[in-house]
Amino acid sequence: MRHVGELYDQALKAGVPAEDARFLLPNAASTNLTFTVNFEEFLHIADLRLCWRAQWEIRHMWAKARNALKARFPELAKPVQPKCGDQRMGYCDEPLAEYLKCPLGARRIRLHKDEIVAAAKTGRTLESTPLTEEDLALLTPRPEFEKVPVATG
């Protein structure tokens, strides 16, 4: 691993862009990430990456990004939710089988698009309740999944 790290450093010093030099690193190497987006794009990324279907590590990273925004600008953080959030679409548009696997769908915290369509066909409307911080916590990976155990011996 040390040799791979040295090759990576040499590539950077030789002017190879970091995103290209990363191809020398093993898969799943820890990474520091810096990005710049406008608020509209931040919301769009959060729509997808705070969703239960996003990879756990990405979901965790976006939960941290939301928390960082909330610490500095609480009002701006309110609409930063998964796309099913009441501040976003207000319902889940994923396949029903996936919706039922989601903690928010399984607990009936969010509506599914099929329910809304069925209600509309009979002239009824359905209301979506606001997501709470506890609801959002159901989507955030638990700490025991944050670190991959290192084999010893």
- Catalytic sites, residue numbers: 49
- Helix (H, G, I), strand (E, B), or coil: what is residue 92? strand
* Whole-angstrom distance, CA of residue 6 vs CA of residue 28: 18
First to last CA, the chain: 17
Q: Tokens 């606001």 appear where? A: 130
* Whole-angstrom distance, CA of residue 90 vs CA of residue 81: 10
Beta bridge partners of 91: 111
| Alpha-carbon distances, residue 114 vs 28, 84, 87, 100, 120 (angstroms) | 37, 13, 20, 12, 10
Beta bridge partners of 92: 112
| H or E element that contains 133 | helix 133-139
- Helix (H, G, I), strand (E, B), or coil: what is residue 33? coil
